[in-house]
Amino acid sequence: MLFSRNRKSKVFYYHDLGTAHTDMGTDISLFLKHLSVFEKEGFSVVEQITEPENQVMICFDDGWRGLYENREVLLSRGIHPTVFIAVDLIGEKGYLTESQIRELHSLGFGFQSHSWSHNDLTEFSGDGLDKELSGAKKHLEQQFGWSFDSICYPMGRHSDKVCQGCLKAGYKLQYTSISGGYYDMMGKKQVCRNCAQYSSPKELRMMLLSTSRLFRRHLRALHYVKA
Ligand SMILES: [Zn+2]
C-alpha cells in the first residue's frame, strides 16, 4: 500500500508568516486553515512533542521578520513555534534582529540553531564544519544566554559525517527535511519534518494522516549525501 494511515505526532515546517519578506512565506489565511485542519483532526499544537500520537509541532526556518510582525497570529492562539536561526542571518534584511529574537523568546517562542552561515553542511569538513556546528552553538548561547541544544540542517542537507559532527557538538536533536513522524528517525537523533508552507488544506490533511514511503525515499535522496 502506498499510503498507510497513521496518527503519529509530526513536525510541520514553514519559513515565514506572511509573504512580505520571502516568497517562501505562507499567507496568513492559508496558515489559519492549516490550524483548523490540525484542530479538526484532533491534533494539538505543542511546543515540543512528548507523545507518539496526536501532537503537532510547528517550526519556522531561517528567522524571517514576518514572524515578529505577525506574532499575534500565533500568540493569540497559544502557539509557540520553534524558530531555527543562523548566526550570519540575524539582523540581515528581512530577518529577525537580535532584539526581536529576544522579545519573541520572552513571549514563549523557541529558538534553536540553523548553523553559522546557512550553507550546505555537507560541503564542510574539519575546522569549517566545527565552526558551523559547535561554533554556532557556542556563539548563539553566548549571545542570547539560553541553550541551543537542537539544530536544523540548512536546506535539509546532511551526511553521516554531518550527523556525527552534530552529536559531537552537543546537539541533542537534528531536525531534517525528510517527511514522516517525529519518532521515525530518532535512532540517529534525527527528527522528521514535513514541509507545509505551500500545502493546500487538503494536502496538509494527507501529510498529517498518512505516510508515503515513496515520497520519503525521494526526500531522502534529495537531502542525504553518502559520505
Ligand atoms: Zn534554512
Percentage of the chain surpassing pLDDT 70? Answer: 95
Tell whether the model's pLDDT for residue 161 goes beyond 80: yes
Region of 169 (left: φ > 0; alpha: ψ -120 to 50; beta: rest) is alpha
Across the range 42-58, mean pLDDT stands at 97
Q: Judge whether residue 1 has pLDDT over 50.
A: no
Q: Which residues pair with 158 in a beta bridge?
A: 224
Ligand 1 centroid – CA 154 distance (Å):
4
**How far is C-alpha 218 from the geometric centre of its chain's CA atoms?**
19
- Looking at 50-64, 148-162, 197-211, which range is the least confident one? 197-211
Confidence of residue 6 (pLDDT cuts 50, 70, 90): confident
Instruction: Name the β-bridge partners of 224.
Output: 158
Distance 49 CA to ligand 1 centre (A): 21
1 CA from centroid of ligand 1 (Å): 33
Every domain of the chain and the residues it spans: 3-225
Q: What spacing in Å lies between the alpha carbon of 96 and ligand 1's midpoint? A: 13
- Match 501529510 to its residue by C-alpha cell: 207
Q: Tell me: the pLDDT tens digits for 16-48? A: 999 999 999 999 999 999 999 999 999 999 999
Q: What is the pLDDT of residue 214?
A: 66
Q: What is the mean pLDDT of the chain?
A: 94
At the topology level, CATH places domain 3-225 in: TIM Barrel (3.20.20)
Whether pLDDT at 90 is above 90: yes
Q: Which of the pair, 185 or 130, is modelled with greater confidence?
A: 130
Residue 117 C-alpha cell reads as 552561515
Q: What is the pLDDT of residues 62-73, one digit of tens each?
A: 999 999 999 999
